[in-house]
Structure 1
Amino acid sequence: MASLSILNSESDEENWVIQINQMSSEANHSILKIIPVCIYQVPKSLSSAKPEAFAPQLIAIGPYNHFCPKLYPMERFKVLSAKAVLDHFQKHDLKQIVEEFRNTATFIRASYHKYLDLKDETLLYTVAIDALFLLNFFHNYLNEKFSGSFMAGLEDRVRLRGVKLTKDAIIRDILMVENQIPTYSLLKILVLQSSEPPHLVQDYLGSMLLSFCRQHSPLNLTHVPTCSEAVSKHHHVLDLMYHLVVSNAEKPETPIPVQSQGTSVSQKSSTSEAITISFKKVKCALTWTLNSMKKLKDVNIPLVKPIKRHLDPVLKVSSQLKTLSSHPKLSGEEEEAPLVVKIPCVRELHSVGVFFQPLEGGNMAIEFDEKMGILYLPVLKLDVNSEVIMRNLVAYEALTKPDFLIFTRYTELMRGIVDTVEDVKLLMKAGIIESSSSLSVQETEELFNGMSKSIGPTKTQKLDETIKKVNKYYQCRRKINFFRVLTEYVYKSWKFFTLLATFVLLAMTAIETFCSVYDCHRYFKPE
C-alpha cells in the first residue's frame, strides 16, 4: 500500500522546493537560531486519553487547524470580528495588513514546529485574520483605565451571538497548545492601526492578556509581570499563562510560621521507634501462638475435637493481627519514593489528623507543617473550562520543559489525594478548591480522576520532599493509632490471652507425654 504524502500536485512540489531553499538559506538559518519553536502539535502519546481536550471544537486559531472542515464554518464569524477591528481604527484594510506582514513570513514559520504546507500569502492572511479576531475577543479584558482611550466602543461579535456556551468554547479553544499564534503578530497589527506610541500599545495588549489569564487561570497568580513584559517575554497567550502559574518555581520557598503547639519531630521519631519495637515483640508472640494452635488443630485425637471447634475464630483474629503487624506501613520499613505520586487521599489524611489550609502562591508553594500536621495547598479555581486548560498546560510543559515537569507533578498530587466526592467536599470546606456553580462536586471529582496518566513526570525535589513528609506523617500516625487499639483490645485482655497460652502449653505437654508412651503417628495424619 502506497504511503500518504503531503504533496498532492505539481504545484505543491514546487512550493515545497521553494520553502526548503528558504529554510536552508543562511539568512533563514540565523532567524531560526533567534526565534525558538514555541507552537507545537500535541503527539498522540499526550492526547490519547482525551483527544477532544487538545483539538479545537469550535474555532481554529493559526495555520495548524485553520482549514479544518469541521471548524471552517466559523470563518465567516472570524472575518466579521476582524472587520470590526479594522473599521474601529479606520486606517488599514485586511489587504494592507497582509502587505505590512510580508517581511515577517519567515519569522512566523520559525515559531511552528510542524512543517507548514502553505504559501507565504496564504499563511499571512491566516495569521492576520486570526490575530484580528483575537484582538476583538481580548479587548473585553482590557483594564478600565485603558478602555476609555483605546478600543472603546469596538463591536463585540461574541456578545452579539448572545450564547455563553459559545464564549466558553472559544476560551477553551484559545488556550489549546495547537491553537496559538505569536503574540508578535497581535502587537504588530495594533502598532500599525493605533495612533498611540508603540510602548503604550504594548502596555494595552499586555493588559488584555494578563487580565484574560488572571480570569481563566486555574491557580491564583502571585507574580504578575508588567504589561510590557507580558508581551515581550512570552511567545503566546498559553505560554504567558503557564509562566504565570509556575512563576515562583525557582524562587526560595515560602517559609511557614512555626507555632509553639504540637509534638516535636524528635519526640515523634522516638515514639515511632518505641512503637516499632513493641510491634516486633507482639509479632513474635503472635507467631508462636498461631503456630501452636495450627499444630493442635491438626491433631486427630477424640479428646481434642471439642476444643478444635473453638480454634477457628481465634486463628482468624490472630491471622489478621499478624498481617496488620507485618504491614510495611506499620513495621517501620522505609519505602522508596515512587516516580508516580503515591499518597493517601484527603479522607485518609484527615482521619489521622492532617488539616488542609490554602496558601497564596503557585504550585511550588506547597508545604507540609509536620509539627501542626497542616498541608498547605494553593487555591484551585475550577469551572467548565478548567479541565481543558489544565490538560493543555500539562502538554505544553511536556513539550517545552521535559526536564522540569512541575505543573504535571502538581496535577499528579491532586489526582492522588482526590479519590471520591468526599475528598472534594473536604477540600472545598477547607477553601482549597473554589468550584463555580456550573460545576458539580461529582464533576470536580471526575476532573481529577480523569486527568491523563500518559506522561511519566520527572522528580521535582521540593514537591517530592513534601509528599514524602506527608506519607511519613501518615504512617507514623497510623502506627500510633494501631498501638492505641492494641493497648485497648489486647493489653486489656491479657488475662484471657494468658489463660489461652497456658491451655495451649498444657495441651501440647499432655500430647507430648501421651505420644511418648503410645505410637501417635497415625493420630497426627490429617483427616
Structure 2
Amino acid sequence: MLTSLTSNFDERQWVKQIRQTLDEELDEETETPVTIFAVPKTLFITCPDSYIPQQVAIGPYHHLRAELYDMERYKVAAAKRNQRELNNLRLQDIVDHLIKFEVRIRACYHRPVSLGGEALAWLLAVDTSFLLEFFEVCGVKKGKTLTKLPSRLAHLVDLSGNKIAHDAILTDIVMLENQVPLFVLRMVLECQFSSLDLADEVLLDMLMELSREVSPFEMAEAAGRRKIEVKDCAHLLDFLYRFIVPVEEDVASETIEIHDDEDGDTEGLKNKNSFAEPSHLRLFLAEVWRILSKLKAGPVGWIKTLVLSKPVRVFVKLPWTILSKIPVIKLLKEPVEHIFNAYQKENKEKTDDQESSSSTSKKNRLPLLEEIKIPSVTQLSEVGVQFVPIHEGITSIRFDAKTLTFYIPVINLDVYSEVVLRNLVAYEACSASGPLVLTRYVELMNGIIDTDLDAKFLCGRGIIINHLKSEGEVAELWNGMSQSIRLTKVPSLDQLIGDVNKFYDGRWKVKFGKFMRRYVYGSWRILTLLAAIMLLLLTILQAFCQVYTCSRILPIKGLDPALNRR
C-alpha cells in the first residue's frame, strides 16, 4: 500500500508500491466507496473538541494518541472475552480473515492508513470486540444481553446513565473519525452465531438500542421502529444518521451558494431589480436609444449632448432620488433611469468584464452557513404563533398557517448533544448526495433562536428538554453551529421557511415596525441634521428681527422685542 514519502526518496520502492497497489485494487470485484471521512477543516476549526475522542480511540485515525492509552487494557480484556465466545475459533483466525479484506477496509477510510496489513487487522479485531462488549453491557438495563460472562466494562456503564465515562464513551464511538466499517462487526458476530442473518438481527437490536440512547431527538416508538438494513449501513454513525433522518431515494436536491450581501432586505432587492424584467416599454426605449446613440450630426447630436450633460443629469437624478417613493412618479422614474443606465453601460464594458471575472472567483469560495432569514421564536409568538412539540422526528417539522401552529420535534440538550449533532452534520455534508436535511434543521433552529429568551420559550413549551446550566447555554449551542461546507435546498423545510416569512411579513404590526425602522429610526441622522438647520435658521431670524422690524411681515412676539414690551 501507499505510504507517506520521506526525504530519502526511493524510486524503485515507490514503483514497486504503485504496481502492488494497482494489482490489489484490480483484484477487487467491486469498488468500495469512502465512508469514514476526515472532518473538513472548515468545520473542525470551529470546535475541535467535538471531533476528537476524549475517552477511547476506535479505528486507526486516533489509535496512536497517548492520552487514550488508558482504555487499551479494557479493549484487550474485551478481546479475550470475545475469544471465549467464538465457536472453535481463536482471535487469530478472525485477524487472518480480516487480512484478506485489507484493500476493502483501507478503501473505506478517507485518509491513508499508515499501519501495516496485519497491524490494521489486529487493531480492528480488538476494537470490534470492545464495541460488541460495550453494546452488550449497555443492553443490561433493557434486559438484553448475549452472555452472562463478567465484563471489566461493567463499572464504566451506569444502568441509570449517570456516569461520566459511560456518556463519554457513547459520544466518542459516534464521532466521524472514530469509526470502523460495519461489515467488520458483522464478520465477528457471524463467527459467534450460526448464520449471517442471525448476526445481523442481533447487531440490529444492539444498534437500535444504542441509537435511542445516543440520539438527542425524542421519537415515538413507531418512529423509532423504522426498518434499517444493517448491510446497507457503512458504520455506527451512518446507522445513527439513518435512525434520525430516514433515507429518501426520490428526493431531489439543489446545491446553492451563499454570497455576501450587505443589504439583507429582500424587498429592497426586488424593487431594485423590478425594471430588469422584460417589458414592451423597456424594449422600445432600448431600441430608440440604440438608434439615436449612433447619430452624432445635426440637431440629434446637439440634443443628445444637451440631454447627457452633467447639469441635466444632476437635475434629473436628484428629484428621482427624493421622490422615488411616490407611486405615480416611480412609474416615470424607471424609464428615465433606464436611458441613463444604458448610456453608462456602454462606457463601462471593460469594467464589467473585470467585475465579472472577480465575481466568478468569488462564487468558487466555500459558503458560510449563515443564519437563515426567519423571525425568532419571540417575534413569532408576539404575532400569535403557537409552538407545539412533536415526537415524530425532524422530517415531520411543519407550520400550519391556518391555525398558526409551529410543530417542532422534541430534542434533549446536554453537554454531549452538541458533539453528536456536529458529527452528524459533518457526516451528512461529506457523504450525502441528496438534501442536507439535518443541516437545514440546524440552520432553522439557529435562525429562530437568537437569545436566551427564545431558548427559554421553547424550553417552557417542552420542545427543548434542557440539561444544561441555563437557557443562555442553549442559545449559545445553536448559535455556535454556524459553519458549513455546502448548502442544499430541502423542499419541505424551504417551504416551511417561506410560509413562516410570508405570514410574519403580512402582519400590520410587522409592516408598521419595518416602516418605522426604515424611514424614522433609520433616518435619525437626517432628522437630527434638519432639526439643527431649522434651529440655526430660527436663531438667525431672531437675530435679524432684533435689528430690523419684522412685525409687519411676521407679527410674532418672540421675534420682535417691541411687541414683547406691549
What is the CA–CA distance in structure 2 between the aligned matches of 1:354 and 1:196, rounded to whole Å? 57
The equivalent of 2:495 in structure 1 is: 465
Closer/same/farther in 2, CA of residues 156 and 196 from structure 1, 3 Å limit: farther
What is the CA–CA distance in structure 2 between the aligned matches of 1:370 and 1:65, rounded to whole Å? 49
Greater alpha carbon shift after TM alignment, 44-53 vs 395-404: 395-404
Output one character per residue of 1:19-78: Cα deviation in whole Å (capped at 9) or x when no partner: 5334312x6246384322100111211211001111112211111111123323432232
The residue correspondences of 1:359-378 to structure 2 (distance < 5 A) are: 359-378=390-409
Closer/same/farther in 2, CA of residues 439 and 125 from structure 1, 3 Å limit: farther
Normalised TM-score (structure 2): 0.63
The equivalent of 1:386 in structure 2 is: 417
What is the CA–CA distance in structure 2 between the aligned matches of 1:152 and 1:251, rounded to whole Å? 45
1:77 maps to 2:107 = no
The equivalent of 2:19 in structure 1 is: 21
Output one character per residue of 1:299-324: Cα deviation in whole Å (capped at 9) or x when no partner: xxxxxxxxxxxxxxxxxxxxxxxxxx
Give the CA deviation at 1:10.
7.6
Query: Given that residues 156 and 166 in structure 2 are in contact (C-alpha distance below 8 angstroms), is that contact kept between their aligned partners in structure 1?
Result: no
The residue correspondences of 1:11-410 to structure 2 (distance < 5 A) are: 20-25=18-23, 28-29=25-26, 31=28, 33-89=30-86, 91-142=88-139, 147=144, 150-159=146-155, 164-192=163-191, 194-221=192-219, 222=223, 224-226=225-227, 229-247=228-246, 249=248, 340-401=371-432, 404-410=435-441
Give the CA deviation at 1:111.
1.0
The equivalent of 2:354 in structure 1 is: none
Q: Which amino acid aligns with 1:243?
A: R
Greater alpha carbon shift after TM alignment, 158-167 vs 47-56: 158-167
2:407 partner SS: strand
Closer/same/farther in 2, CA of residues 223 and 426 from structure 1, 3 Å limit: same
Output one character per residue of 1:431-462: Cα deviation in whole Å (capped at 9) or x when no partner: 211234x6543332221121132434222222
Query: Given that residues 143 and 208 in structure 1 are in contact (C-alpha distance below 8 angstroms), is that contact kept between their aligned partners in structure 2?
Result: no
Closer/same/farther in 2, CA of residues 354 and 186 from structure 1, 3 Å limit: same
1:418 maps to 2:417 = no
Query: Given that residues 94 and 188 in structure 2 are in contact (C-alpha distance below 8 angstroms), is that contact kept between their aligned partners in structure 1?
Result: yes
Query: Given that residues 141 and 209 in structure 1 are in contact (C-alpha distance below 8 angstroms), is that contact kept between their aligned partners in structure 2?
Result: no
Normalised TM-score (structure 1): 0.68
Q: Which amino acid aligns with 1:450?
A: G
2:71 partner SS: helix
Closer/same/farther in 2, CA of residues 190 and 424 from structure 1, 3 Å limit: same
What is the CA–CA distance in structure 2 between the aligned matches of 1:447 and 1:359, rounded to whole Å? 21
Give the CA deviation at 1:145.
8.9
Structure 1 unmatched runs, 5+: 253-325, 327-337, 487-513, 519-527
Closer/same/farther in 2, CA of residues 470 and 160 from structure 1, 3 Å limit: closer
Query: Given that residues 352 and 478 in structure 1 are in contact (C-alpha distance below 8 angstroms), is that contact kept between their aligned partners in structure 2?
Result: no
Output one character per residue of 1:103-134: Cα deviation in whole Å (capped at 9) or x when no partner: 11122112112111221001101111111110
Closer/same/farther in 2, CA of residues 208 and 16 from structure 1, 3 Å limit: farther
RMSD: 3.5
Output one character per residue of 1:472-525: Cα deviation in whole Å (capped at 9) or x when no partner: 211222547849x99xxxxxxxxxxxxxxxxxxxxxxxxxxx99x98xxxxxxx
Query: Given that residues 370 and 482 in structure 2 are in contact (C-alpha distance below 8 angstroms), is that contact kept between their aligned partners in structure 1?
Result: no
Closer/same/farther in 2, CA of residues 12 and 158 from structure 1, 3 Å limit: farther
Give the CA deviation at 1:160.
5.2
Q: 1:447 is matched with which residue: 461, 477, 480?
A: 477
Give the CA deviation at 1:140.
2.9
- The alignment-based identity, stated in percent, is 39
The equivalent of 1:277 in structure 2 is: none
1:71 partner SS: helix
The equivalent of 1:493 in structure 2 is: none
Give the CA deviation at 1:139.
1.2
Q: Which amino acid aligns with 2:214?
A: H
Q: Which amino acid aligns with 1:108?
A: I
What is the CA–CA distance in structure 2 between the aligned matches of 1:152 and 1:15, rounded to whole Å? 51
Q: Which amino acid aligns with 2:491?
A: Q
Closer/same/farther in 2, CA of residues 12 and 92 from structure 1, 3 Å limit: farther
The equivalent of 1:281 in structure 2 is: none
Structure 2 unmatched runs, 5+: 252-324, 326-368, 517-548, 554-566
Query: Given that residues 102 and 124 in structure 1 are in contact (C-alpha distance below 8 angstroms), is that contact kept between their aligned partners in structure 2?
Result: yes
Closer/same/farther in 2, CA of residues 161 and 223 from structure 1, 3 Å limit: closer
Closer/same/farther in 2, CA of residues 345 and 103 from structure 1, 3 Å limit: same
Closer/same/farther in 2, CA of residues 41 and 379 from structure 1, 3 Å limit: same
Give the CA deviation at 1:96.
2.8
Greater alpha carbon shift after TM alignment, 351-360 vs 179-188: 351-360
Closer/same/farther in 2, CA of residues 250 and 108 from structure 1, 3 Å limit: closer
Q: Which amino acid aligns with 2:147?
A: M
Output one character per residue of 1:125-181: Cα deviation in whole Å (capped at 9) or x when no partner: 111111111011111344889836x23335151525878211211111101111000
What is the CA–CA distance in structure 1 between the aligned matches of 2:65 and 2:8, rounded to whole Å? 23
What is the CA–CA distance in structure 2 between the aligned matches of 1:121 and 1:15, rounded to whole Å? 20
Q: Which amino acid aligns with 1:38?
A: T
2:36 partner SS: coil
Give the CA deviation at 1:223.
5.6
Closer/same/farther in 2, CA of residues 51 and 16 from structure 1, 3 Å limit: farther
Output one character per residue of 1:343-394: Cα deviation in whole Å (capped at 9) or x when no partner: 1111111111111112333323221111111111112122221100000011
